[in-house]
Amino acid sequence: MKLILNNWKFKACDDTEWLPATVPGCVHTDLLDNGIIADPFNGTNEQNVQWIDKKDWEYVALFDADEALLNHRHVELIFEGLDTYADVTLNGKAVLSADNMFRTWSVDVHNLLHPRNNQLHITFRSPIAEDLPKLEALGYALPAPNDQSEGGGLADKKVSIFARKAPYHYGWDWGPRFVTSGIWRETRLEAWSEVKITDLYMEQKEVTPQLAKLTAVIEVESAQAYSGLIKLSTKSLEWELNVDLTPGTNHINHEFEITNPDLWWSRGLGEPHLYEFKVEFNHAGNSLAERTVRTGLRTINLIRKKDEKGSSFYFELNGIPVFAKGANHIPNDSFASRVTKERYEHEIASAAISNMNMLRVWGGGIYEQDVFYELCDEYGILVWQDFMFACSMYPGDEAFLHNVQIEAEENIKRLRNHPSIALWCGNNEMDSAWAHFDEHAGWGWKQSYNEQQREQIWSDYEAIFHQLLPEAVGKLHHNVAYWPSSPLQALTENKDQHSHALSSTGDIHYWGVWHAAELFENYNAKVGRFMSEYGFQSFPEEKSVYTYAEPSDMELESAVMLCHQRNNDGNRLIKQYMDMYLPEPKDFSSFLYMSQILQAEAMKTAIEAHRRNKPYCMGSLYWQINDCWPVASWASMDYFGRWKAAQYYIKNSMRDIMVSIDGSSTENLDIHVVSDVLTPLDGKLVIESFDLGGQLLKTLEQQISVEPNSATLVKSVNKAEWIGTSDNQEVVLRATLEQGDQVLDRKMYFFTATQESKLPVAKITCRTYDEAAGIYTLESDVLARGVWLSTQTEGLFSDNFFDLIPGQPVTVQFQARGKEGKPFSPSAAENLTVRSMADFIK
């Protein structure tokens, strides 16, 4: 029996007036809902709410406990999430004290309950006031460069590393500083008397298409001794086991088999089949307890084998090597409780539509809500799961380690039934940032400490990431790999441990393009075994920018634009790269559009370079798919879920069967076909060149064969021959891969940089083919670059920001967002607007 507690009030501890509160939620959202603060996302309002984290806050709930609840032997008070330092009383009696946002807190409160007017009271201590003494006691600061302490009025006192709390709350180079407090997940009373099944894990010992050998790992809490029957069932199958329960916690393992199982596959390789398993405990013919879990049957391995070039790094699913295509995921909101299932599904469905098969849950956010992983299971999206540590060094005292151990074990147990979980990773960028074994590598952190401090900091690091976390994964989820830090080459305990841009083993975060202002073309050269981070920024579209800015703010260096750009060099770098690659935009609105084209071209270059190098490279996870607030950032979808140009380019560059044109050679164009499917491909490659008016200049057809799950150079052509006597600014080459009457993919190549290309103003006609189905056909009178379709209706097009060759119409379909309970469904596009790059340049 459950009673969810949702009738709450709150106030600052030094105030007298109680205000209504929403749970789950936090102080910031409750203050906003009560009109105490202005929207912190608007303008520079973030700066006006930094007082909130310096105060203590209290929440109170009044509730009745009816007779049915009180008649149970046990009534547990369960908090799924308390953020972060919290003291809880029930009817004036202290029941628990919490100090970790990522843990579940529970206590039996049966003896404290009254039938009427129970009062549950929580005091949230300021995380700043709580942790400043820890910094003083340590005697030196630990590295935490993304902690925006200055913006929080703390000067250089960075305390984020002491709290087991979402690191991004303290700011990041894409996010604001909102150090929250509150009840951020469900709070409930849970009553039981005889038996309670507290955990059910379907451990997969061996899974093949012929046979799945499983163990049901069952944890049962019993109030007394019972003899009875465990019944386990799924679909039309059932197994039974006689058991004797003793008072307290019982651990039961039941081995069983399923013949010819339906396997769980990631998107693109097969169906993500799921099984629902139900376990019951029966005593004397009565069912005393039951529990249900859902999982998929599969094997997932991280393959790291030495080869002639270094060591492999790839995931093998059901024996099949998988090229991981996807992105890094951050929390969808600065206030995590605001993220609805619809917002989660919009992101996961967008990833699947964009031909992805993996998302990395990055270590500076949160262990995501259950619905996130459930959707990944359903859509066939693998999850690289970080533990919540990022870009900092952390303390290693006994209390901190104990807290982290419980946090890790709870979250592993919570998530381990999800077939989407492919990897547990200790942290983000900490090994390479500290670079303990190479004095000349890293981010310059260790040089700020004496030898004794260095050794202590590294010893604390190893205690967490080389001992505690791998032991927890090995004990509770041993059939999924643990990776200590991303990026990393291998645990060698010498300088070869730390990753760099040319590593031939492990995973790589390549940021030469962007942070070091290297050319896009370097993406072709800096290719590792698994590219787990790389990225390029852009602004959101104008509609999104106007949610936080006024017309007077629409300039690159305005206070609002700088507030909503958290990378110190971000706006300068966007402009610097735009001056290198694109024509000059005519105004700031055009600059927003051009920034998206710029980002899209960068991501296309990187992703296709990675995929062309398959199987040497077997993963491409760009930074990042989403935003936590409206901002200029590396996201391919903005805070509102609107697809940027990059998302459309990424969708095309991650096709399961892709054509890619590599023009990095001075003389030749190399045309590759990359296939992620498991069957051979026999098709036809058609190469054509056109002038700006659409006249066909040259054509070539060639039958090709491509092996399953491979990358193949299928044709090289001489650039000069295809330009011929024409001006190279007036020629476009198109490569099309056909199979029968189906076009599998199509890519274009321009012989001059976009900045130098001729961009005549295009007259684009848009004909409605089927209004109800949202199908439109577009044609242009001249070559039109970057054709952007926009509409007042929220949703997405099957393609967008594409190039139009005269006489070569393109048909697209629009799908509205969130209609009829679906993430996307065909719909008419209201007030459809069509523009191309020529409309945005001087």
Active site residues: 429
Ramachandran class of 442: left when φ > 0, alpha when ψ lies in -120 to 50, beta otherwise: left
Q: Which amino acid is located at 837 in the chain?
A: M
Q: Which amino acid is located at 602 in the chain?
A: A
Neighbours of 793 (CB within 10 A): 17
Alpha-carbon distance of 526 to 508, in angstroms, equals 10
Alpha-carbon distance of 650 to 658, in angstroms, equals 11
DSSP classification of residue 296: -
User: Which secondary structure element, helix H or strand E, spans residue 275, and what is its range?
Assistant: strand 275-283
Asked if 76 contacts 189 with a C-beta cutoff of 8 angstroms, the reply is: yes
Asked if 783 contacts 692 with a C-beta cutoff of 8 angstroms, the reply is: yes
Range 141-151 burial, b when 16+ CB lie within 10 A, else e = bbbbebbbbeb
Alpha-carbon distance of 838 to 840, in angstroms, equals 5
516 contacts: CB under 8 Å, gap ≥ 6: none
Alpha-carbon distance of 774 to 794, in angstroms, equals 13
Alpha-carbon distance of 93 to 842, in angstroms, equals 70
Range 233-271 burial, b when 16+ CB lie within 10 A, else e = ebeeeebebebebeeeebebebebebeebbbbbbbbbbe
Sign of the CA dihedral running 251, 254, 255, 259:
negative
Closest Cα partner for 435 from 492, 386, 504? 492
737 contacts: CB under 8 Å, gap ≥ 6: 657, 659, 673, 683, 684, 685, 686, 704, 743, 744, 745, 746
Question: Helices 370-379 and 341-353, interaxial angle, to 10°?
Answer: 30
Range 428-453 burial, b when 16+ CB lie within 10 A, else e = bbbbbbbbbbbeebbeebbeebeeee
- Pair of tokens at residue 540: 């959101």
Alpha-carbon distance of 618 to 610, in angstroms, equals 8
Beta strand 619-622 pairing with 324-329: parallel
Alpha-carbon distance of 510 to 718, in angstroms, equals 31
Alpha-carbon distance of 833 to 841, in angstroms, equals 18
Phi/psi of residue 441, nearest 5 degrees: -110, 175
Beta strand 810-817 pairing with 824-826: antiparallel
Residue 808, classed as helix, strand or coil, is coil
Alpha-carbon distance of 600 to 650, in angstroms, equals 8
Alpha-carbon distance of 402 to 407, in angstroms, equals 9
Report how far Cα 714 is from the mean position of its chain's Cα atoms.
34
Residue that is written with structure tokens 């093949």 in the block: 208
